[in-house]
Amino acid sequence: MQNTHEKLEFFVKKCKEIGLKITPQRLAIYEVLLKSYNHPTVEEIYEEVKKMYPYVSLATVYRTLETLEKIGLVKRVCFWGNSARYDANTSEHHHLICKKCGRIEDIDLDQKLSIPENLQGFKTDSYSVNIYGLCPKCQSNQQV
């Protein structure tokens, strides 16, 4: 699954499997998420979708995101003390987070962390690293 089109087709297939009605709004919600790399909040996705479908409700956006999460097409990015942020990049990757403006960027760490298969009784299967700091923009704002 590489491009947006394939991902949308996969979503349609999954919806059929679980008996979910496919609406243009639902597709638009996923499409907005696929096209944004800034890990938007539910509200931000809602604002984007509303530009195309003015009558979409926030509840629909919430429910669609829940469904997308359930079928494994989106991930919720945990973010301290703020609303949940969503990510359509479900491959294993890490995040660079600005503590000031909340910008979240995907990063690839070239160094693999060696996580033991067993940790305190946990069977581990994946990990995700959040690195916090100040983005270039917030750094230059601070100097002024």
The rounded distance, in Å, linking the Cα atoms of 64 and 60 is 6
Smallest distance, Å, CB 26 to Zn ion? Answer: 22
- Of the pair 84, 101, the CB lying nearest Zn ion is at 101
Check: CB of residue 4 under 8 Å from CB of residue 34: yes
Beta carbon of residue 103, minimum distance to Zn ion (angstroms, whole number)? 5
13/137 with CB nearer Zn ion = 137
**Identity of the residue, 58 or 138, whose beta carbon is nearer to Zn ion in the bound complex:** 138
What is the spatial distance between Cα 48 and Cα 35, in angstroms, rounded to a whole number? Answer: 11
Nearest approach in angstroms of CB 61 to Zn ion is 19
Tokens 């069977």 locate to 123
Binding site for Zn ion (CB under 5 A): 87, 89, 98, 100-101, 103, 106, 135, 138
- Report phi then psi at 141, rounded to 5: -65, -30
